[in-house]
Amino acid sequence: MGEKLLVTSSPHLKGPRTVRGIMLDVILALVPASIASVVLFGVRALVVIAASVISAVASEAIYEKAVKREVTVSDLSAVVTGLLLALTLPPGVRLYVPIVGSAFAIVIAKQIFGGLGTNFVNPALAARAFLMAAWPLQVSSKWIAPLAYDSVSGPTPLAALKSGRGVVPGIWDLLVGTRLGSLGETCIIALLLGAAYLIARDVIDWRLPAGFVGTVFLGAWIFGKSGAYFKGDGLTAVLTGGVILGAFFMATDYVTSPVTPKGRLYMGIGCGIITIIIRYWGIYPEGVTYAILFMNLVTPLIDRFVVPKYYGYAHDAAARRAKIGGR
């Protein structure tokens, strides 16, 4: 092990931290939101989460056995993916959705490329986008009324904001989660608790979520009200849909976000811009999934061009000169 030069791509871990340790931190951070989802939406929430996690872990184990690699489920990254995917789904969703989704996330969006550290899109979000395209009805209408545990198909706050129909809940409801929505996006307080934990433990960089949330707030404030500018409700926009969940837990995935702090800020801002564009001018009520996926795609380019100052211009200038042919 000491002779070979080990060249790998991100994530690069410094210090005594292990992948498993970080994953454990993320799972812990998501516990408040998961508990909130069960309280709000009933046992069904737990079943969806369980189905998703089990499918993720099983898919990873089966695939790695099939390609004769070491089985890495104990690093808990599959658990995190399964959990995150479940939290983006409506509570009343039929179980084949998280099961197929998790398998897709683990096998196609991650393992095929070589396992942890090799994927270029966030697996949970890639799966969610896939599910949205495969079974749109399941993913956008199987809501459950909070605390009443009845199935409802009515508009979520996000859909209400977009179509103008339906009631948009007040700030308190938005924070506590007594409104329609996916498992993990409704109880903002629980999410923020977890996010604070991750930032305190130095697992995530605050710049990315700050850029993301800030841009969405600004964008909603400027463009939120149709027919007028600078009159929108930024706060409501930030508290509805997947912004908090996405900004703190999904976009910040090490493998698919930029390496430099400035780069991460840019990614956050980019996510925010695309979210606003899709929310206000696209056909989907929620843009967070696609925004993060798109920024995942350009992350390698961000890393290429956002170089810390001391690598400097000389490096780029030399490359440019070489290209033109030494003129």
Partner 1 sequence: MKFISIILGGVLISNFVFIQYLGLCAFIGLSEQLETAVGMASAVIFVMTGASAVAAAFEQFILIPLNLQYLRTIAYILVIAAFVQLVEIFLKKTAPGLYKAMGIYLPLITTNCAVLGVALLNVAKSYNILYSTVNGIAGALGWSLAIIIFAGIRERWKLMQIPDVLKGFPLALISTGLMSLAFLGFSGLFQGILK
Partner 2 sequence: MNGKRSLLHDFTKGFIEENATFRMVIGMCPTLAVTTSIVNGFWMGVAVIFVLTFSNVLVSALRKVTPDQIRIPIFVILIATPVVIVELMMKAFLPDMYRILGVFVPLIVVNCIIIARSEAFAYRNPVLNSLLDGLGIGMGYTINLMVIGGIREFLGTGKIVLFSLGSFPAKPLFDPMAVMLSSPGGFITLGLLMAVLNILIKRSEARKSAGQQVCHD
Q: According to the binding rule CB under 8 A, does residue 284 interact with partner 1?
A: yes
Half-sphere exposure of 63 (CA within 13 A, CB side): 23
Q: Which is nearer to partner 2, 147 or 297 (CB)?
A: 297
Amino acid identity, position 44: R
CB of 125: closest distance to partner 2 in angstroms? 13
Q: Kindly indicate which of the ranges 71-79, 131-139, 212-220, 274-282 contains the residues binding partner 2, using the contact rule CB under 8 A.
A: 131-139
Chain position carrying tokens 């697996």: 123
Q: Which is nearer to partner 2, 127 or 160 (CB)?
A: 127
- Count residues near partner 1 (CB under 8 A): 40
Q: Kindly indicate which of the ranges 95-103, 145-153, 197-205, 298-306 contains the residues binding partner 1, using the contact rule CB under 8 A.
A: 298-306
The CA–CA distances, whole Å, from 272 to 51, 88, 263 equal 31, 18, 14
User: CB–CB of 208/264 below 8 Å?
Assistant: yes
149 binds, among partner 1, partner 2, none (CB under 5 to 8 A by kind): none
Q: CB neighbours of 274 closer than 8 A, spacing ≥ 6?
A: 287, 290, 291, 294, 295
Q: According to the binding rule CB under 8 A, does residue 297 interact with partner 1?
A: yes
The CA–CA distances, whole Å, from 10 to 62, 119, 296 equal 25, 10, 13
94 binds, among partner 2, partner 1, none (CB under 5 to 8 A by kind): partner 2
Q: According to the binding rule CB under 8 A, does residue 133 interact with partner 1?
A: yes
Q: According to the binding rule CB under 8 A, does residue 121 interact with partner 1?
A: yes
Q: According to the binding rule CB under 8 A, does residue 113 interact with partner 2?
A: no
CB of 31: closest distance to partner 1 in angstroms? 29
User: CB–CB of 45/93 below 8 Å?
Assistant: no
**Burial environment of residue 170 by CB neighbours within 10 A (0 to 12, 13 to 18, 19 or more):** exposed
Q: Which DSSP string corresponds to 242-304?
A: THHHIIIIITT-GGGS-SSHHHHHHHHHHHHHHHHHHHHHSSSS--HHHHHHHHHHHHHHHHH
* Among residues 108, 176, 193, 199, the one that binds partner 1 under rule CB under 8 A: 108
Q: According to the binding rule CB under 8 A, does residue 89 interact with partner 1?
A: no
User: CB–CB of 77/23 below 8 Å?
Assistant: yes
Q: Compute the radius of gyration of the chain from its Cα atoms.
A: 20
CA 234, 240, 246, 249: dihedral to nearest 10 degrees? 100
**Burial environment of residue 92 by CB neighbours within 10 A (0 to 12, 13 to 18, 19 or more):** buried
Q: CB neighbours of 230 closer than 8 A, spacing ≥ 6?
A: 221, 222
Q: According to the binding rule CB under 8 A, does residue 120 interact with partner 1?
A: yes
CB of 18: closest distance to partner 1 in angstroms? 21
Q: According to the binding rule CB under 8 A, does residue 178 interact with partner 1?
A: no
Q: Which is nearer to partner 2, 92 or 211 (CB)?
A: 92
Which SS3 state, helix, strand or coil, does residue 84 take? helix
Amino acid identity, position 61: A
- Count residues near partner 2 (CB under 8 A): 9
Q: According to the binding rule CB under 8 A, does residue 311 interact with partner 1?
A: no
Q: Cα 235 to chain center, whole Å?
A: 20
Q: According to the binding rule CB under 8 A, does residue 112 interact with partner 1?
A: yes
* Among residues 7, 133, 314, 319, the one that binds partner 2 under rule CB under 8 A: 133
134 binds, among partner 1, partner 2, none (CB under 5 to 8 A by kind): partner 2
Q: According to the binding rule CB under 8 A, does residue 120 interact with partner 2?
A: no
* Among residues 114, 136, 154, 308, the one that binds partner 2 under rule CB under 8 A: 136
Q: Which residues bind partner 1 (CB under 8 A)?
A: 7-9, 67, 108-109, 112-114, 118, 120-121, 126, 129-130, 132-133, 274, 277-278, 281-284, 287, 289-291, 293-294, 296-298, 300-301, 304, 323-325, 327
Q: Which residues bind partner 2 (CB under 8 A)?
A: 94, 96, 108, 130, 133-136, 138
